Chain A
Amino acid sequence: MTQSAGKGVGARLRRKEDERFLRGRGEYVGNLRMVGMLDVAFVRSSVAHARICAVRKPAGHEAAVFTIDDLAGVRPIVANSALKGFKSAPQHVLAKDKVRQVGEAIVMCVAPTRAEAEDIAAQVELDLEELPAVVDMVAAIKPGAPRVHDEWLDNVVLETLVDDNLSGIRARAAIKVQRRIRTARQCMSPIEGRGVVAHYDRRLNQLTVHSAAQMPHINRAGLSECLGIDQGRIRVVAPDVGGGFGYKGILLPEEVCLGWLTMKVGRPVRWLEDRFEQLTANANCREHYYDITGYADADGRLLAIDCEAIVDSGAYSSYPFSACLEAAQVGSILPGPYRMDGYRCRTWSAATNKAPILPYRGVARTGVCFALELVLDAIAREARKEPYEVRLASLVPPEAMPFVNITKKYFDSGDYPEALRRAVKALDLPKWRARQRRGEPDGRRVGVGLAIFCEQAAHGTSVYHGWGIPMVPGHEQCTARLSPDGVLELRIGAHSHGQGLETTLAQVAHEILGVDPDNVRLVHGDTALTPYSTGTWGSRCMVMSGGAVATACKEIEKRVRAIAGKLMEVAGDDLVLEAGRVRVGGTDRSMSLAEVAHVWYRAPQLLPADVDPAGLEATAGYKTKQDTGTFSYACHACAVAVDTELGTVEILDYVVVEDGGTLVNPMIVDGQVFGGAAQGIGTALYEEMPFDAQGQPLASTLADYMLPGATEVPAIRIEHMETPSPLSYFGQKGIGEGGAIAPPAAIANAVNDALADLGVEVLESPITPRRLLAAVAAARAGRGAA
Chain B
Amino acid sequence: MKPPKFAYEKPRTLEAAIRLLADGGDGAKLLAGGQSLGPILNFRLAQPELLVDVRTLPELSVARDEGDSVFLGATTTHSAIEDGRVPDPTRGLLPAVARTIAYRAVRNRGTLGGSLAHADPAADWVNVMALLDAEIVAQGPRGERRVRASEFVRGPLTTALAVDEIVLGVRIRKLSARARWGHYKFNRKPGEFAEAIGGFVHDPERGVARALVGAIGDAPHVVADASGLDEPRMRAAVSSAGFGPDTYEHQIHFVALKRAVARAAAA
Contact = CB atoms under 8 A, between A and B. Distances in A.
A703 interface: yes
Contact of A773 (B190, B193, B248): B248
Interface stretch (A63-71, A102-110, A114-122, A216-224): A114-122
A706 B189 contact: yes
A273 to B, nearest CB: 11
Contacts of B190: 711
B189 to A, nearest CB: 6
Contact of A113 (B2, B188, B189, B191): B2
Given A701-B39, A773-B251, A114 B188 contact: no
Nearest to A702: B192
Contact of B4 (A119, A647, A703): A119
A102 to B, nearest CB: 16
B243 interface: no
Contacts of B193: 703
Nearest to A770: B248
B255 interface: yes
Contacts of A706: 188-189, 192
B5 A769 contact: no
Interface in B162-203: 186, 188-193, 195
B44 interface: yes
Interface in B41-57: 43-44
Given A119-B4, A706-B188, 16 more contacts: A113-B2, A115-B2, A115-B3, A115-B4, A118-B1, A118-B2, A118-B44, A122-B44, A276-B1, A276-B43, A645-B251, A711-B191, A768-B188, A769-B195, A773-B252, A777-B246
Contacts of A709: 189, 191
Nearest to B184: A646
Contact of A774 (B44, B186, B248, B255): B248
Contacts of A770: 248
B1 to A, nearest CB: 5
A416 interface: no
Contacts of A119: 4
B188 A769 contact: yes
Contacts of B186: 646
A274 B192 contact: no
A782 B153 CA distance: 42
A712 interface: yes
Interface string A770-786: 10011001000000000
A711 B187 CA distance: 13
Nearest to A777: B246
A776 to B, nearest CB: 10
A686 B188 contact: yes
Given A113-B2, A119-B4, A703-B193, A645 B248 contact: no
Interface residues of B, number: 21
Nearest to B256: A646
Given A645-B251, A773-B251, A114 B2 contact: yes
A703 B3 contact: no
B252 A769 contact: yes
A770 B251 CA distance: 10
Interface of B: 1-5, 39, 43-44, 186, 188-193, 195, 246, 248, 251-252, 255
A645 B256 CA distance: 10
Contacts of B192: 703, 706
Contacts of A122: 4, 44
Contacts of B246: 777
Interface string A247-280: 0000000000000000000000000001010000
A703 B192 CA distance: 7
Contacts of A701: 39
Given A645-B255, A709-B189, A769-B188, A115 B5 contact: yes
Interface residues of A, number: 25
A770 B255 CA distance: 14
A14 B132 CA distance: 53
A769 B2 CA distance: 34
Interface of A: 113-115, 118-119, 122, 274, 276, 645-647, 686, 701, 703, 706, 708-709, 711-712, 768-770, 773-774, 777
9 contacts: A114-B2, A115-B3, A115-B5, A118-B2, A118-B4, A118-B44, A711-B189, A712-B189, A769-B188
A706 B192 CA distance: 9
Contacts of B2: 113-115, 118
A774 B191 CA distance: 25
Nearest to B195: A769
A274 B43 CA distance: 11
Contacts of B39: 701
Contacts of B43: 276
A274 to B, nearest CB: 6
A342 B208 CA distance: 70
A299 B200 CA distance: 54
A709 B195 CA distance: 18
A785 to B, nearest CB: 15
Nearest to A710: B190
A119 to B, nearest CB: 6
A781 B43 CA distance: 44
A687 to B, nearest CB: 11
Contacts of A118: 1-2, 4, 44
A391 B13 CA distance: 73
Nearest to A119: B4
Contacts of A645: 251, 255
A708 B190 CA distance: 10
Contacts of A768: 188
B255 A646 contact: yes
Contacts of B195: 769
Which 4 A/B pairs are nearest by Cβ-Cβ distance? A115-B2, A645-B255, A711-B190, A114-B2
B137 to A, nearest CB: 30
Contacts of B189: 686, 706, 708-709, 711-712
Contacts of A774: 248
Q: Which of B44, B188, B190, B192 counts the most chain A CB atoms within 10 A?
A: B188
A111 to B, nearest CB: 11
A247 B39 CA distance: 25
A774 B249 CA distance: 12
A709 B192 CA distance: 11
A276 B248 CA distance: 28
Contacts of B1: 118, 274, 276
A644 to B, nearest CB: 10
A769 B1 CA distance: 31
A315 to B, nearest CB: 24
A276 B40 CA distance: 12
A221 B252 CA distance: 53
Contacts of B4: 115, 118-119, 122
A777 B252 CA distance: 13
Contacts of B191: 709, 711
B47 to A, nearest CB: 10
A661 B252 CA distance: 47
A773 B248 CA distance: 7
A118 B191 CA distance: 31
A533 B246 CA distance: 57
Contacts of B44: 118, 122
Nearest to B43: A276
Nearest to A700: B43
A646 B255 CA distance: 7
A223 to B, nearest CB: 27
A119 B5 CA distance: 9
A400 B251 CA distance: 53
Q: Which of A113, A686, A773 has the most CB of B within 10 A?
A: A773
Nearest to B3: A115
A536 to B, nearest CB: 30
A648 B248 CA distance: 13
A85 to B, nearest CB: 42
B115 to A, nearest CB: 15
A587 B118 CA distance: 79
B141 to A, nearest CB: 33
Nearest to B122: A703
